[in-house]
Protein backbone atom coordinates (compact mmCIF):
# COMPACT_ATOMS: atom_id res chain seq x y z
CA UNK A 1 0.00 0.00 0.00
CA UNK A 2 1.28 3.43 -0.90
CA UNK A 3 0.85 6.45 1.31
CA UNK A 4 -2.64 7.91 1.06
CA UNK A 5 -3.89 5.84 -1.82
CA UNK A 6 -7.38 4.36 -1.71
CA UNK A 7 -7.34 0.79 -0.44
CA UNK A 8 -7.15 -1.89 -3.11
CA UNK A 9 -10.47 -3.41 -4.19
CA UNK A 10 -9.07 -6.88 -3.48
CA UNK A 11 -8.47 -6.06 0.17
CA UNK A 12 -11.86 -4.34 0.49
CA UNK A 13 -13.50 -7.46 -0.96
CA UNK A 14 -11.62 -9.58 1.59
CA UNK A 15 -12.84 -7.37 4.45
CA UNK A 16 -16.40 -7.52 3.16
CA UNK A 17 -16.31 -11.31 2.76
CA UNK A 18 -15.02 -11.80 6.31
CA UNK A 19 -16.94 -9.13 8.25
CA UNK A 20 -18.65 -11.55 10.62
CA UNK A 21 -15.51 -13.59 11.17
CA UNK A 22 -13.41 -10.53 12.08
CA UNK A 23 -16.19 -9.14 14.27
CA UNK A 24 -16.28 -12.46 16.14
CA UNK A 25 -12.53 -12.39 16.70
CA UNK A 26 -12.67 -8.78 17.91
CA UNK A 27 -15.57 -9.64 20.25
CA UNK A 28 -13.61 -12.57 21.67
CA UNK A 29 -10.59 -10.29 22.25
CA UNK A 30 -12.77 -7.71 24.00
CA UNK A 31 -12.22 -4.94 21.46
CA UNK A 32 -15.19 -2.56 21.79
CA UNK A 33 -17.62 -1.87 18.98
CA UNK A 34 -18.46 1.62 17.74
CA UNK A 35 -21.11 3.35 19.82
CA UNK A 36 -24.47 4.09 18.25
CA UNK A 37 -23.64 7.81 18.52
CA UNK A 38 -20.44 7.39 16.56
CA UNK A 39 -22.24 5.35 13.90
CA UNK A 40 -24.87 8.10 13.65
CA UNK A 41 -22.21 10.79 13.27
CA UNK A 42 -20.22 8.77 10.73
CA UNK A 43 -23.37 8.23 8.66
CA UNK A 44 -23.08 11.89 7.63
CA UNK A 45 -19.87 11.05 5.76
CA UNK A 46 -20.48 7.42 4.80
CA UNK A 47 -24.23 6.91 4.32
CA UNK A 48 -24.02 3.22 3.34
CA UNK A 49 -24.56 0.93 6.36
CA UNK A 50 -22.38 -1.82 4.87
CA UNK A 51 -19.55 0.68 4.42
CA UNK A 52 -19.89 1.77 8.06
CA UNK A 53 -19.58 -1.85 9.16
CA UNK A 54 -16.48 -2.15 6.99
CA UNK A 55 -14.85 0.88 8.64
CA UNK A 56 -15.76 -0.52 12.06
CA UNK A 57 -14.23 -3.93 11.32
CA UNK A 58 -11.02 -2.45 9.94
CA UNK A 59 -10.71 -0.25 13.03
CA UNK A 60 -11.44 -3.10 15.41
CA UNK A 61 -8.91 -5.35 13.66
CA UNK A 62 -6.18 -2.81 14.37
CA UNK A 63 -7.06 -2.50 18.08
CA UNK A 64 -5.65 1.03 18.06
CA UNK A 65 -6.96 1.84 21.53
CA UNK A 66 -4.60 -0.71 23.12
CA UNK A 67 -1.72 1.71 23.66
CA UNK A 68 0.38 -0.56 25.90
CA UNK A 69 0.62 -3.25 23.24
CA UNK A 70 1.36 -0.70 20.54
CA UNK A 71 4.15 0.84 22.65
CA UNK A 72 5.73 -2.58 23.18
CA UNK A 73 5.49 -3.36 19.46
CA UNK A 74 7.16 -0.04 18.58
CA UNK A 75 9.97 -0.77 21.04
CA UNK A 76 10.50 -4.25 19.64
CA UNK A 77 10.68 -2.93 16.08
CA UNK A 78 13.05 -0.16 17.16
CA UNK A 79 15.35 -2.69 18.86
CA UNK A 80 15.42 -4.91 15.77
CA UNK A 81 16.22 -1.95 13.53
CA UNK A 82 19.00 -0.78 15.85
CA UNK A 83 20.49 -4.27 15.95
CA UNK A 84 20.65 -4.24 12.14
CA UNK A 85 22.27 -0.81 12.08
CA UNK A 86 19.28 1.17 10.85
CA UNK A 87 18.96 4.60 12.42
CA UNK A 88 15.43 5.83 12.93
CA UNK A 89 14.80 9.51 12.34
CA UNK A 90 14.50 11.76 15.34
CA UNK A 91 11.73 14.23 15.72
CA UNK A 92 8.27 14.63 17.08
CA UNK A 93 6.79 11.36 18.23
CA UNK A 94 3.16 10.59 17.56
CA UNK A 95 0.86 9.09 20.14
CA UNK A 96 0.84 5.29 20.17
CA UNK A 97 -1.77 4.03 17.76
CA UNK A 98 -2.47 7.31 15.99
CA UNK A 99 -0.06 6.79 13.10
CA UNK A 100 -1.14 3.18 12.65
CA UNK A 101 -4.80 4.21 12.86
CA UNK A 102 -4.48 6.85 10.14
CA UNK A 103 -2.38 4.57 7.91
CA UNK A 104 -4.97 1.78 8.14
CA UNK A 105 -8.32 3.62 8.20
CA UNK A 106 -7.69 6.60 5.88
CA UNK A 107 -7.21 4.42 2.74
CA UNK A 108 -10.50 2.65 3.49
CA UNK A 109 -12.31 5.98 3.84
CA UNK A 110 -10.69 7.18 0.60
CA UNK A 111 -11.92 4.03 -1.13
CA UNK A 112 -15.43 4.74 0.16
CA UNK A 113 -15.41 8.10 -1.60
CA UNK A 114 -14.26 10.66 0.96
CA UNK A 115 -12.06 13.24 -0.77
CA UNK A 116 -8.42 13.55 0.21
CA UNK A 117 -8.09 16.84 2.08
CA UNK A 118 -6.21 17.79 5.22
CA UNK A 119 -8.21 20.88 6.17
CA UNK A 120 -9.81 21.05 9.57
CA UNK A 121 -13.36 20.81 8.21
CA UNK A 122 -12.78 18.19 5.50
CA UNK A 123 -14.90 15.05 5.62
CA UNK A 124 -11.89 12.75 5.88
CA UNK A 125 -10.39 14.65 8.82
CA UNK A 126 -13.72 14.91 10.64
CA UNK A 127 -14.40 11.19 10.23
CA UNK A 128 -10.93 10.29 11.48
CA UNK A 129 -11.27 12.66 14.44
CA UNK A 130 -14.63 11.15 15.41
CA UNK A 131 -13.25 7.63 15.36
CA UNK A 132 -10.02 8.64 17.13
CA UNK A 133 -11.95 10.31 19.94
CA UNK A 134 -14.04 7.15 20.36
CA UNK A 135 -10.83 5.12 20.67
CA UNK A 136 -9.29 7.66 23.10
CA UNK A 137 -6.31 8.24 20.82
CA UNK A 138 -4.29 11.30 21.77
CA UNK A 139 -3.16 13.67 19.05
CA UNK A 140 -4.62 15.05 15.85
CA UNK A 141 -5.11 12.80 12.81
CA UNK A 142 -4.54 15.87 10.58
CA UNK A 143 -0.83 15.85 11.45
CA UNK A 144 -0.52 12.24 10.35
CA UNK A 145 -2.51 12.93 7.19
CA UNK A 146 -0.19 15.80 6.37
CA UNK A 147 2.84 13.59 6.96
CA UNK A 148 1.44 10.90 4.68
CA UNK A 149 0.55 13.47 2.03
CA UNK A 150 4.09 14.84 2.18
CA UNK A 151 5.47 11.31 1.70
CA UNK A 152 3.17 10.83 -1.29
CA UNK A 153 4.33 14.09 -2.91
CA UNK A 154 7.99 13.17 -2.32
CA UNK A 155 7.47 9.74 -3.88
CA UNK A 156 5.81 11.28 -6.94
CA UNK A 157 8.68 13.77 -7.32
CA UNK A 158 11.24 10.95 -7.14
CA UNK A 159 9.30 9.04 -9.81
CA UNK A 160 9.23 12.11 -12.10
CA UNK A 161 12.96 12.70 -11.62
CA UNK A 162 13.71 9.05 -12.38
CA UNK A 163 11.57 9.22 -15.53
CA UNK A 164 13.35 12.38 -16.71
CA UNK A 165 16.73 10.77 -16.07
CA UNK A 166 15.82 7.63 -18.00
CA UNK A 167 14.46 9.65 -20.93
CA UNK A 168 17.60 11.82 -21.01
CA UNK A 169 19.85 8.75 -21.05
CA UNK A 170 17.80 7.19 -23.84
CA UNK A 171 18.00 10.38 -25.90
CA UNK A 172 21.78 10.56 -25.39
CA UNK A 173 22.15 7.03 -26.75
CA UNK A 174 20.08 7.92 -29.81
CA UNK A 175 22.10 11.06 -30.57
CA UNK A 176 24.45 10.90 -33.60
CA UNK A 177 27.36 12.16 -31.46
CA UNK A 178 26.97 10.62 -27.99
CA UNK A 179 30.39 11.94 -26.88
CA UNK A 180 29.07 15.52 -26.87
CA UNK A 181 27.80 16.85 -23.59
CA UNK A 182 24.60 18.87 -23.46
CA UNK A 183 25.23 22.45 -24.58
CA UNK A 184 28.09 21.61 -26.98
CA UNK A 185 27.59 22.21 -30.67
CA UNK A 186 28.94 20.42 -33.66
CA UNK A 187 31.67 22.24 -35.55
CA UNK A 188 30.53 23.70 -38.89
CA UNK A 189 31.34 21.57 -41.96
Q: Which residue has the higher pLDDT, 18 or 90?
A: 18
Burial (0-12, 13-18, 19+ Cβ within 10 Å), 33: middle
Q: What is the mean pLDDT of the chain?
A: 85
The predicted structure's pLDDT at residue 105? 92
**Residue 88: is its pLDDT beyond 70?**
yes
pLDDT for the residue numbered 91: 66
Return the higher-pLDDT residue of 87 and 38. Answer: 38
Quick check: 110 pLDDT over 70? yes
Q: What is the pLDDT of residue 71?
A: 83
pLDDT, one tens digit per residue, over 1-50 is 456 788 889 999 999 999 999 999 999 988 889 999 999 999 999 888 99
pLDDT-derived band at 127 (thresholds 50, 70, 90) equals very high
Q: What is the pLDDT of residue 1?
A: 47
User: Max CA-CA distance within the chain?
Assistant: 85
pLDDT band at 182 (very low <50, low <70, confident <90, very high): low
- Quick: pLDDT tens for 157-171: 999 999 999 888 887
Over residues 79-87, the mean pLDDT reads 88
Helices (H) and strands (E) in the chain, counts: 8, 0
CB 105 within 8 A of CB 58: yes
Q: Is the dihedral of CA 173, 179, 181, 184 positive or negative?
A: negative
8 Å CB contact between 46 and 55: yes
How many percent of the chain have pLDDT more than 90?
38
Amino acid sequence: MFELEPESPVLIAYYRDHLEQHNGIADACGIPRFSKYLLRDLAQFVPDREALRLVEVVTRMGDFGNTEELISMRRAVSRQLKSRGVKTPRGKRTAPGLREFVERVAPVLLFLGLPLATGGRSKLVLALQLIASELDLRGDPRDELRRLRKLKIEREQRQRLLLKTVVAQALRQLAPYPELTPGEYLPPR
